[in-house]
Amino acid sequence: MGVLKGVSLVGMSATRKRIKDDFYATPPEATEDILDREILEGSILESACGQGHISEVLKQYYPNSEIVSTDLVNRGYGQGNIDFLTHDYGRKFDNVITNPPFKYAREFIERGLEIANKKVIMFAKIQLLETKNRRELFEKYPPKYIYMCLAEG
């Protein structure tokens, strides 16, 4: 029997202040917590890599894996000016893991499911689960796992 592809959502507490381009760096501890629970086999795409916060932890956990890091905005890490939602990577990846701009979380999930062979892991505010607009998405693609990362403070 083949591996069933699914989405894992990582709920993170939200900050009150809106930041330009929805750039909220993922704390290394959050990525470590997920990678202690989820095993990624094969190639990995981090599609909103920012300054490499997730990708650097991925490299520590999977030093022999192909890890591709892209972002719409060039923040000095990975390959910038790549729109995950429209870019033709010319291939699929085994895993997609990222912290997408919240306003495009649904689109990132759908696109991740298109180009991932195995797993899609999305860091997002827990409010992602609350809206009627996303109900259809989760009825069609129910989350396989939902993890909570609580910020200190």
- Please state the separation of Cα 112 from the chain's center in Å: 8
Q: Which two tokens stand for residue 148?
A: 């909570």
Q: What is the pLDDT of residue 122?
A: 93
pLDDT at 13: 46
Q: How far does Cα 5 stand from its chain's mean position?
A: 15
pLDDT at 142: 87
The answer to whether 9 touches 145, Cβ cutoff 8 Å, is: yes
pLDDT at 69: 98
Amino acid 9: pLDDT: 55
Domains and their CATH numbers in the chain: 6-14+25-149 (3.40.50.150)
**3-class DSSP state of 20:** helix
pLDDT at residue number 14: 47
Residue 50: predicted pLDDT? 93
- Give the phi and the psi of residue 6 in degrees, each rounded to 5: -150, 170
Q: What is the pLDDT of residues 24-62, one digit of tens each?
A: 678 888 899 999 999 999 999 999 999 999 999 999 999
Question: What residues in the chain have per-residue pLDDT under 50?
Answer: 1-4, 13-15, 18, 153
Given the structure tokens 């990708």, which residue do they identify? 55
- Provide the pLDDT for residue 150: 62
